[in-house]
Amino acid sequence: MAITARVDLNAEQVAALSLLVSGRISQNQSVLDAHGRDESAFPPVQPSAVVTVKSTEEVSKVLAYCNQEQIPVVAFGVGSSLEGHVLPLFGGISLDLSEMDQILAISPDDLTVKVQAGVKRMALNKKLSSEGLFFSVDPGADATIGGMASTGAAGTTTVRYGSMRENVLKLTAVLADGTILEVGRETRKLSAGYDLTRLIVGSEGTLAVITEITLRLFGIPEKMASAVSCFASLEDGVQAAIAIVRSGVAIARCEFLDAQSIRNVNSHDGISLQEAPTLLFEFHGSPRGVEEDAQLVQEITSEFGGTDFKWTTEEGERRKLWQARHNAYWAGIAAHPGKRGISTDAAVPLSKLAQAVAVSEKLLKESGFPFSILGHVADGNFHSFIITDPTKPEELEQIRELTHEMTSQIIAMGGTCTGEHGIGAGKIDSLVEEAGAASVAVMRAIKATLDPNGILNPGKIFS
Amino acid sequence: MAITARVDLNAEQVAALSLLVSGRISQNQSVLDAHGRDESAFPPVQPSAVVTVKSTEEVSKVLAYCNQEQIPVVAFGVGSSLEGHVLPLFGGISLDLSEMDQILAISPDDLTVKVQAGVKRMALNKKLSSEGLFFSVDPGADATIGGMASTGAAGTTTVRYGSMRENVLKLTAVLADGTILEVGRETRKLSAGYDLTRLIVGSEGTLAVITEITLRLFGIPEKMASAVSCFASLEDGVQAAIAIVRSGVAIARCEFLDAQSIRNVNSHDGISLQEAPTLLFEFHGSPRGVEEDAQLVQEITSEFGGTDFKWTTEEGERRKLWQARHNAYWAGIAAHPGKRGISTDAAVPLSKLAQAVAVSEKLLKESGFPFSILGHVADGNFHSFIITDPTKPEELEQIRELTHEMTSQIIAMGGTCTGEHGIGAGKIDSLVEEAGAASVAVMRAIKATLDPNGILNPGKIFS
């Protein structure tokens, strides 16, 4: 039986849940508010209660109870999702895992770390740096590792180090009925049965609640260098990025920002990049290696009319540049006081990237909404950042139509409606358009098998 | 309903299937023989008939019919599996995909290729080389891409380029009821719904029959270099390999061979490597880059007592060395005329590798069987190669006990019973021991959902 209407807890249910978590349940308005929104532009929806858990065993007990009572459960970390993943669309409980924030075991010899789901990315990397190690997946936001695993997060370094799909080795996860699963293995290779780890990673809390994660780590490179190059047009920059990927040069990051994005970050971060379509690069390796990589990249960019190539191994400058890139989202909002930003997320095969960006730019210009375009071009993945006025809710519908048109054209050219943000509540129709009815039917069948009452994050991925 | 006993086709069924595939069905003894064995030591089992298919649509029709008639179906490529995957344990049909051998589309701009399942790895790479591209997964055997996808194959270059799990972007696969699925996307990043691609990759033909695959490609490196270093003991070599991985130097291959393996390949390939525990390396990159990498590796190996470090960028020498490594399996058999070889497959976290190899070596020595040890040490993955006399079938039971003991100890130290060969018919109990009853129950539930009659490769992964 599926959840079809909003569920509000009765007093008996609140009392029963409270017993399971030593009283860590709240129906306080500000707590409900904080768990009813994320970074998306979807209207807030409050859960009926917020349950804070401290262990896998507590998650198991809470889920077993909610399954029996048919109470929806949405796992919550910090709410940095961009597609409404954490919104409790059908009420029920928001299961807050943010206090499960222990780093359980760092194993420098294995290049792995085991964490609880509520550990945040930046705190983890701060801890790891003293061991000369880092966790590579970098979506920009200071998300929890559990949230990143659930959405299959990726980011600026994915071109070199992979996304969560490649970097999660092992998971502890709890099924809807409270069954505790350990899937995967702390080995670098595994061929033992179905790949349940990668089924749960990216399933957006609809198949299981992730409570513990073992991640793959990398040694901090001996040397890191960054570089910048400007282009006359968006297309020139994109073509240069594609040529760099094809050349095989080992870029650790390769990001594209249009002139508007550069204006935004200049203003927000007090820097002075040339306000033109720009590629930012990062190289990781030996001192000679990064120099060689940067030289090769300079040669290729200049073939595509790239100008003002600057590179540096100076650490302060490198950090400032990448901090500015990471701030692009907030810089975009800051450039439009009182407004909200909506980030699209498309990925295409490399050969279609220039066309996809051009199509998106054309539709965005025609729409009249302020926008900027940026992205992880070496992966064929880019975002349009559209500014909307929250006092004009009718704009949301217009933007929905605009993004749907962009997405349909991306899908028609062999691309995907989401390279890294996930389906959430916003791209349910696009998933069917892209994957086809047969594939979505298989996904639904797996969902029905593992969560027959449909309590886990209802209204996400599927309608 | 599950298949519980051998199924032999009646005349009506043979006629019906024949109609579906333009007469390409055979019950000729030599054809049945050829489809009743693989590279494992399991006793041969003939299918009731061999059906050769030429298109996804034919696979769909055949599966729909077999599902209706509850006839077991085992997909067959070239039979290079090492765990009995292609053995038709319950009769029924062997579905031969080897004539689906078309390379459908090479896209140098996207660094992808789309192939039919029966395309063989070496033919593919020969074709790709004229475009300056290569497909990286290299299990040694000249397997079909469909077979490699089904077992989630890996190999000597996985440390640098990943296994099939990372290199399959998109699949066409046919479910038990004949439904044709397209899963995945020809993009480098994808976050749209459940990762069905990675669920099907490695599912050993038990969830669907893979008919077409889009693979990720890489540009052939500007320069390739190889190197060799000898060690006083197995453990020294393993420790050196671990230190090299931790150093972050970009090795493309890093293989360990014990003295016995070296003796075997020297004799088989007419080469003259020093007969000692040995690490073989390969480096891919720019001319300066590979030189720098090789120097760093030499420094590290010498810290662990490595001697006779030799490196070369000479292409003939490099090829000869790696051909010898790839021939290690056949060299082991050739060293024992009339005998068969059984290859184990274990992977452990890097910190446990020396211990795991030592435990395996001790048990093997105690057993009295001739053996050699080699493996992809940079991935923590190694194989023991045990020689058995086919005229003494009682040895198989002894070896089964021996490998079970080795596997149990590997699992107890956090390792896996298979890094790359898969579960097949041989490691069903080990899967339960390793993954736990709850995880295996989830795998079984998914299997029952997608293949309710259990016609797809019965007797594999699960008992």
Q: B340-360 pLDDT, tens per residue?
A: 889 999 999 999 999 999 999
Q: Report residue B386: phi and psi, to 5°.
A: -110, 130
Q: Report residue B227: phi and psi, to 5°.
A: -150, 155
Q: B306-352 pLDDT, tens per residue?
A: 998 998 988 898 888 888 888 888 898 899 999 988 999 999 999 99
Longest C-alpha distance within chain A, in Å? 70
R_g over Cα of chain A: 22
Q: Which residues 317-376 of A have a C-beta within 8 angstroms of B?
A: 345, 347-351, 376
Give the closest residue to B227 by CA, choosing from B205, B260, B249, B247.
B249
Q: A270-290 pLDDT, tens per residue?
A: 889 999 999 999 999 888 888
DSSP codes joined into one string, A371-398 = EEEEEEGGGTEEEEEEEE-TT-THHHHH
Pairing of the two strands B209-216 and B112-116? antiparallel
End-to-end CA distance of chain B: 14
| Residue keyed to tokens 């401290």 | A54
Q: Which residue of A has its CA nearest to B112?
A: A349
Cβ–Cβ below 8 Å for A188 and B416:
no
Give the residue-averaged pLDDT of B60-66: 98
Whether B66 has a pLDDT exceeding 70, the answer reads yes
ipTM of the complex: 0.96
Quote the pLDDT of residue A1: 57
Please, what is the average pLDDT of chain A?
A: 94
Cβ–Cβ below 8 Å for A188 and B350:
yes
- Please tell me if residue A450 touches chain B, with a CB cutoff of 8 Å: yes
Give the residue-averaged pLDDT of A347-353: 94
Cβ–Cβ below 8 Å for B189 and A380:
yes
Band the pLDDT of B390: cuts 50, 70, 90.
confident
Question: Structural domains in chain A?
Answer: 103-219 (3.30.465.10), 223-422 (3.40.462.10)
Please, what is the average pLDDT of chain B?
A: 94
Whether A320 has a pLDDT exceeding 70, the answer reads yes
Band the pLDDT of A326: cuts 50, 70, 90.
confident
Distance CA B15, CA B194 (A): 39
Bigger pLDDT: B54 vs A463: B54
Give the residue-averaged pLDDT of A329-343: 89
Q: A370-413 pLDDT, tens per residue?
A: 999 998 999 999 999 999 998 998 999 999 999 999 999 999 99
- Please tell me if residue B182 touches chain A, with a CB cutoff of 8 Å: yes
Q: How far is CA B102 from CA A442, B38, B77, B79, in A?
A: 28, 23, 14, 19
Cβ–Cβ below 8 Å for B349 and A422:
no
Task: Write the burial class of residue A187 (CB in 10 Å: 0-12 exposed, 13-18 middle, 19+ buried).
Answer: buried
Band the pLDDT of A248: cuts 50, 70, 90.
confident
CA angle A86, A87, A89 (to 5 degrees): 135
Q: Report residue B428: phi and psi, to 5°.
A: -60, -45
Give the residue-averaged pLDDT of B219-229: 91
Q: Name every residue whose Cβ is closer than 8 Å to that of residue A316 and which is 6 or more positions away in sequence.
A: none
Whether B272 has a pLDDT exceeding 60, the answer reads yes
What pairs with residue A229 in β-bridges?
A279
Q: B100-134 pLDDT, tens per residue?
A: 999 999 999 899 999 999 999 999 999 999 999 99
Give the closest residue to B50 by CA, choosing from B70, B81, B77, B69.
B77
R_g over Cα of chain B: 22
Band the pLDDT of B453: cuts 50, 70, 90.
very high
Cβ–Cβ below 8 Å for A190 and B439:
no
Q: Which residues 232-291 of A have a C-beta within 8 angstroms of B?
A: 242, 245-248, 250, 285-286, 288-289
Asked if B117 and B200 touch (Cβ cutoff 8 Å), the reply is no
Band the pLDDT of A206: cuts 50, 70, 90.
very high
What pairs with residue A255 in β-bridges?
A280
Percent of chain A whose pLDDT exceeds 90: 82
Distance CA B133, CA B149 (A): 20
Band the pLDDT of A73: cuts 50, 70, 90.
very high
Quote the pLDDT of residue B1: 57
A4 CA to chain B: closest CA distance, Å?
21
Give the residue-averaged pLDDT of A121-145: 95
Q: A27-66 pLDDT, tens per residue?
A: 999 999 999 999 888 899 999 999 999 999 999 999 999 9
Q: Which residues 214-233 of B have a C-beta within 8 angstroms of A?
A: 218-219, 221-222
Distance CA B295, CA B285 (A): 14
End-to-end CA distance of chain A: 14
- Please tell me if residue A379 touches chain B, with a CB cutoff of 8 Å: yes
Task: Kindly list the residues from chain B whose CB atom is less than 8 angstroms away from the CB atom of residue A288.
Answer: 288, 292
Q: B293-302 pLDDT, tens per residue?
A: 899 999 999 9
Give the residue-averaged pLDDT of B175-192: 97
Band the pLDDT of A321: cuts 50, 70, 90.
confident
- Please tell me if residue A178 touches chain B, with a CB cutoff of 8 Å: no
Give the residue-averaged pLDDT of B358-382: 94
Q: Which of the residue ranges A375-384, A430-439, B225-234 has the most confident prediction, judged by mean pLDDT? A: A430-439
SS (H, E, C) chain B: CCCCCCECCCHHHHHHHHHHCCCCEECCHHHHHHCCCCCCCCCCCCCCEEEECCCHHHHHHHHHHHHHHCCCEEEECCCCCCCCCCCCCCECEEEECCCCCCEEEEECCCCEEEEECCCEHHHHHHHHHCCCEECCCCCCCCCEHHHHHHHCCCCCCHHHHCCHHHHEEEEEEECCCCCEEEEECCCCCCCCCCCHHHHHCCCCCCCCEEEEEEEECEECCCEEEEEEEECCCHHHHHHHHHHHHHHCCCEEEEEEECHHHHHHHHHHHCCCCCCCCEEEEEEEECHHHHHHHHHHHHHHHHHCCCEEEEEECCHHHHHHHHHHHHCHHHHHHHCCCCCEEEECCEECCHHHHHHHHHHHHHHHHHHCCCEEEEEEHHHCEEEEEEEECCCCCHHHHHHHHHHHHHHHHHHHCCCECCCCCCCCCCCHHHHHHHHCHHHHHHHHHHHHHHCCCCCECCCCCCC
Q: Which amino acid is at B324?
A: A
Task: Kindly list the residues from chain A whose CB atom is less than 8 angstroms away from the CB atom of residue B56.
Answer: none
Nearest to B423 among A193, A245, A461 (CB): A193
Q: A216-238 pLDDT, tens per residue?
A: 999 888 889 999 999 999 889 98
Band the pLDDT of B415: cuts 50, 70, 90.
very high
- Please tell me if residue B196 touches chain A, with a CB cutoff of 8 Å: yes
B89 token code pair: 């344990």
B378 CA to chain A: closest CA distance, Å?
9
Positions of E strands within B110-160: 112-116, 133-134
Q: How far is CA A375 from CA A278, A383, B85, B145, B444, in A?
A: 11, 5, 43, 33, 40
Asked if B433 and B92 touch (Cβ cutoff 8 Å), the reply is no
